[in-house]
Amino acid sequence: MNETSPHQPPDADRPAHERPRKSHRGVVTVAITMLSVMVGLVVYSPTLYRMFCAATGYGGAVNRTTTKEIAGKAEGRAIKVRFDANVAPDLDWDFAPEQRTVETRIGEATKVYYTAHNRSDHPIVARATYNVTPYYAAPYFFKIECFCFTQEKLEPGETARMPLVFYIDEQLEKDEDAAKTSEVTLSYTFFKSADQSEGSLAAARALRTGSDELDEELSSSGKAQFSVDAKRVGSGNPVVR
């Protein structure tokens, strides 16, 4: 009669193929939970979110600028761009894109608008973060510096219409991972600033006035500054339609 040694695992005498497999479900669950917590922390802190995206590439945050002329039409293939808008729970604003999707062409600059409205009875300072997905398309998504990562103020009941001009660089077609991209999503989230003091309100950019001035400048200058997170070799001249 075979007896199992008290120091021997109960399955030691069984053939390997008959032994129960150890489940990795617990390890996977813990890993997913930790990742979710980390992402949650950075998403709800604008500063941490920007640092996290810059360091890891997660979410496709973009941060390099280049000046481009605006003229002509592009001949690149069509690509769909989706626009997403989010507001932190403690911010009493409405925020949305005027168009949920547009179809543009690679190399062609396209102009769209977001709107923000202060529902409260007092001025509020807020700041937006953004990201581009899929992540491998982010280095090819150029956009103007508009209302991101700056303190923006809306007066009570005030509405701002914010212009956004973007284009997708032709170099995307030469990237093995990104070349098959048919759809890109640009997502913004507005957060209420922790400092709502008189000094903060005075220092913040007036979102409506600043947006109106930017829109007028874009319409008259014939060029714009675009931002991206990675250096590219060669790019076409974008055009605003």
For the chain, the structural domain boundaries read 60-228
Residues 35, 41, 46, 51: is their CA dihedral positive or negative?
negative
Segment 152-157 mean pLDDT: 97
Is residue 4 predicted with pLDDT exceeding 60? no
- pLDDT above 90 coverage of the chain, percent: 42
Cα-based angle 49, 55, 56 (whole degrees, multiple of 5):
90
Residues 92, 123, 42, 146: is their CA dihedral positive or negative?
positive
Is residue 144 predicted with pLDDT exceeding 70? yes
How far from each other are the two terminal CA atoms of the chain, in whole angstroms? 86
Mean pLDDT over the full length of the chain: 77
What's the pTM value of the predicted model, to 2 decimals?
A: 0.70
Higher pLDDT, 52 or 182: 182
Cα-based angle 218, 116, 90 (whole degrees, multiple of 5):
140
Higher pLDDT, 5 or 124: 124
Give the pLDDT score at 224.
73
Q: Which fold has domain 60-228?
A: Ctag/Cox11 (Pfam 04442) (2.60.370)
Q: How many CB atoms lie within 10 A of CB 80?
A: 13
Give the contacts of 231 (CB within 8 A, at least 6 positions apart): 64
Residue 52's closest CA among 66, 63, 67?
63
Residue 163's closest CA among 100, 214, 107, 95?
214
